[in-house]
């Protein structure tokens, strides 16, 4: 996995249970703060920041990637597409038996649906403007 605007390049490997537990705990803490009326509601920006922090945590604590850019530099350098690709691949590498990481897959799929919906809406509105 390579992050285009950084020097970060690594081969993904399955995380031990310890790291899956931390990521699962982080996910549940994040969703608990976003619950409203029994449903989890969050903005795309909040979800993107949360997911970026989880990738940074893995790079720093599990992969022990060196030299890892400072958080601010990392956040400004990576794209949401790279973050979601990394997490999707990490969940796939861990496999379906790692139920602790499966909620990440659901969040990533929801973000994909939102993104596709936004793109579809923009395309339709652009078509209306260009072809009155």
pLDDT digits (tens, 9 = 90+) for 88-116: 999 999 999 999 998 888 888 877 765 54
> Within a domain: residue 51?
yes
pLDDT digits (tens, 9 = 90+) for 19-44: 999 999 999 898 887 766 666 666 66
Distances (CA, A) of 126 to 13, 113, 117, 123: 43, 20, 14, 5
What residues make up the domain containing 126?
17-130
Give pTM, 2 decimals: 0.79
Q: How many structural domains compose the chain?
A: 1
> Within a domain: residue 6?
no
Instruction: Return the bridge partners of 35, or none.
Output: 40
> Within a domain: residue 11?
no
Distances (CA, A) of 40 to 33, 80, 131: 8, 20, 38
């Amino acid at each position: 996995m390579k992050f285009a605007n950084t020097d970060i390049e690594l081969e993904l490997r399955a995380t031990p249970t310890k790291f899956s537990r931390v990521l699962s705990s982080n996910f549940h803490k994040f969703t608990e703060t976003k619950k409203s009326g029994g449903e989890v509601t969050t903005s795309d920006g909040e979800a993107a920041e949360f997911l970026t922090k989880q990738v940074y945590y893995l790079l720093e604590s599990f992969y022990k990637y060196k030299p890892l850019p400072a958080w601010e530099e990392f956040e400004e350098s990576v794209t949401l597409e790279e973050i979601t690709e990394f997490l999707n691949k990490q969940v796939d590498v861990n496999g379906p038996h790692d139920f602790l990481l499966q909620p990440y897959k659901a969040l990533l799929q929801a973000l994909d649906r939102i993104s596709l919906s936004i793109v579809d809406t923009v395309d339709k509105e652009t078509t209306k403007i260009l072809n009155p």
